[in-house]
Amino acid sequence: MGMAFSGQVALVTGAAAGIGRATAQAFAAEGLHVVVVDLDAQGGEATAALIREAGGEARFLRCDVTVEAEVRAMMDQAVTLYGRVDYAFNNAGIEIENSRLAEGTEAQFDAIMGVNVKGVWLCMKYQLPVMLAQGGGAIVNTASVAGVGAAPKMSIYAASKHAVIGLTQSAAIEYAKKRIRVNAVCPAVIDTDMYRRAYEADPRKAEFAAAMHPVGRVGKVEEVASAVLYLCSDGAAFTTGHSLLVDGGATAI
């Protein structure tokens, strides 16, 4: 069933693979033009090609979301390509550090905060004026279940995702009367390349990852994509400043 999208253009960062690719494809399947954004040019071009092969419209733009000049240029290019950006999914992020707080490094902190927090902030900084000028829009940011509670051995990652929720809620309040909605998705463990790197080499870790979800398995990228599209759709017109858990019941335990 369609989600009654009124806009025409969606922009997805971190779209070279995983959740970002699945969401870009889901937007395209709803008939939207998609701006595929990533630092990985090969993966980003592949996502755009997959969309076009399926009959959709997509263009890839390379961007390092931690660099303001690149984010500004990327948004300018997106508007030049399609005239507007109705929906933005700020999904670019990097993975957990897997060490206790006192064992973390400054380099880890700067890298994780740079992509996961500064990247989201910069993207919204340049998306919001576009949406203000066109009279509205919807933004979804990727947070995490680690952003709504404690996360041992991933304190920097957790802090970055708590920050994403803070940015999301603050922007939602600031722009609520301007017809711009800002929400977040908070996935638990999802079957992505990042997950496979962390868990699949060790079957015991994979079993633990499945068991931490009451549904008995890890999530699928398409399930997160569905949540993102819902938050962007007219069906969520009264939803803003919300962090939607996509966690198989993990936080309900």
What is the distance between the alpha carbons of residues 28 and 15, in angstroms, rounded to a whole number? Answer: 13
Short-list 50, 12, 57, 49, CA closest to 30: 57
Q: Which domains are seen in the chain, by residue range?
A: 9-189+221-245 (3.40.50.720)
Short-list 30, 24, 166, 31, CA closest to 89: 24
One-letter amino acid at 38 equals: D
Model pLDDT for residues 145-199, shown as the tens digit of each residue: 999 999 899 999 999 999 999 999 999 999 999 999 999 999 999 999 878 877 7
What is the distance between the alpha carbons of residues 130 and 133, in angstroms, rounded to a whole number? Answer: 5
Quick one: pLDDT band at residue 6, thresholds 50, 70, 90?
A: low
- Residues 9-23, buried b or exposed e (16+ Cβ, 10 A)? bbbbbbbbbbbbbbb
Output the pTM of the full model.
0.96
DSSP of 117-161: IIHHHHHHHHHHHHHHHHT-EEEEEE--GGGSS--TTBHHHHHHH
Tell me the catalytic residues: 157
Phi-psi region of 201 (alpha: psi -120 to 50; beta: other; left: phi over 0): alpha
Residues paired with 181 in a beta bridge: 138
User: Which H or E element spans position 174?
Assistant: helix 155-175
Model pLDDT for residues 17-75, shown as the tens digit of each residue: 999 999 999 999 999 999 999 999 999 999 999 999 999 999 999 999 999 999 999 99
Residues paired with 61 in a beta bridge: 37
Model pLDDT for residues 77-120, shown as the tens digit of each residue: 999 999 999 999 999 999 878 899 999 999 999 999 999 999 99
